[in-house]
């Protein structure tokens, strides 16, 4: 590895689970729900989702740090050539705002080589925009939880599985004292969700031969049961590390908030 690249890297802690809140900004209940959902994704697709919050990354670009996480932690399965689970991983990196200063927060969704086909940069960008609608008001748990749900939905659609353990999607971002700009932000947020739903429905019809895709009161997309406030049911028997792949080439989307 080139010396300059080594010097540019930061010292990463070892992962403690699928969700690693090193910045200490997440609600423990939200962490449990995300852990259960990601464990279910892994059990049913062999894919990995790593969620990481870091209080500070210095002058490093969020893309570089997310790639370092994916590679060092081995996010995604090793697999053999032709194995659909090979390098099937996604890293979601959040750097919260410093001193509540707008523009100082960072987020990046990095896709492993095995996930780039069904989670291209443009789609990762839509999920990023949806999350930052929450991050702008420092609702980090809500934003990450919805982002993980949307990413998990992409895994479910790609592999034709039903995910049964999840929490109710968080409500739309709220702002005290609504004005015209805030109304525009809400419209933009809703439009993003509608676009995600519409494109996923079209893809599902193409892939599954016209089988209906729905977003109704009893379920969301390809999710099985109803949604409650508790953790997911029956999955996540303990974190034993990621799959060991670590094949990340720079795909994904990020930004500031």
- Predicted model pTM: 0.78
Banded pLDDT at 171 (limits 50, 70, 90): low
Task: Specify the CATH number for the domain of residue 89.
Answer: 3.10.310.50
163 bridge partner residues:
223
Residue 92 domain boundaries = 16-220
**Least confident range of 18-27, 37-46, 171-180, 191-200:** 171-180
Residue 210 domain-assigned (yes or no): yes
Residue 247 domain-assigned (yes or no): no
Share of the chain above pLDDT 90, in %: 66
The total number of structural domains in the chain stands at 1
Residue 238 domain-assigned (yes or no): no
Gap between the Cα atoms of 161 and 196, Å rounded: 18
Residue 239 domain-assigned (yes or no): no
What is the per-residue pLDDT across 126-156, written as a single tens digit (0 to 9) for each? 999 999 999 999 999 999 999 999 999 999 9
Banded pLDDT at 10 (limits 50, 70, 90): confident
DSSP string for residues in the chain? --HHHHHH---PPPP-SSEEETT--S-HHHHHHHHHHHHHHHHHH--EEEEEE-S--TT--HHHHHHHHHHHHT-SB---TT-TTBT-EEEEEEEPPSTT-TT--EEEEEEETTTTTTS-HHHHHHHHHHHHHHHTTT-HHHHHHHHHHHHHHHHHHHHT--B---BPPPPPP--SS--HHHHHHHHHHHHHHHHHHHHHHHHHHHHTTT----EETTEETTB-S--BSSPPSS---------B---EEEEEEEEE-
What is the per-residue pLDDT across 62-107, written as a single tens digit (0 to 9) for each? 999 999 999 999 999 998 989 999 999 999 999 999 999 999 999 9
**Least confident range of 27-36, 93-102, 204-213, 235-244:** 204-213
Note the pLDDT of residue 228: 35
């Amino acid at each position: 590895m080139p010396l300059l690249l080594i010097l540019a890297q930061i010292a990463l802690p070892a992962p403690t689970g699928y969700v690693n809140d090193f910045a200490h900004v997440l609600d423990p209940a939200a962490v449990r729900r995300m852990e259960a959902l990601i464990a279910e994704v892994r059990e049913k697709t062999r894919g990995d989702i790593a969620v990481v919050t870091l209080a500070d990354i210095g002058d490093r670009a969020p893309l570089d740090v997310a790639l370092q996480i994916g590679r060092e932690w081995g996010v995604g399965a090793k697999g053999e050539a032709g194995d659909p689970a090979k390098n099937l991983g996604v890293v979601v990196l959040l750097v919260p705002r410093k001193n509540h200063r707008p523009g100082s927060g960072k987020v990046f969704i990095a896709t492993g080589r095995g996930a780039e086909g069904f989670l291209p940069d443009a789609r990762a960008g839509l999920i990023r925009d949806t999350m930052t609608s929450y991050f702008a008001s420092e609702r980090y748990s809500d934003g990450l939880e919805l982002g993980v749900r949307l990413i998990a939905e992409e895994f479910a659609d790609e592999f034709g599985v039903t995910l049964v353990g999840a929490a109710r999607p968080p409500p739309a971002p709220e702002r005290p004292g609504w004005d015209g700009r805030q109304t525009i932000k809400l419209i933009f947020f809703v439009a993003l969700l509608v676009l995600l739903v519409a494109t996923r429905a079209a893809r599902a019809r193409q892939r599954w031969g016209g089988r209906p895709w729905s977003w109704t009161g009893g379920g969301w997309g390809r999710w099985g049961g109803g949604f409650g406030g508790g953790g997911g049911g029956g999955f996540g028997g303990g974190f034993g590390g990621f799959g060991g792949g670590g094949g990340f080439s720079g795909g994904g989307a990020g930004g500031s908030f």
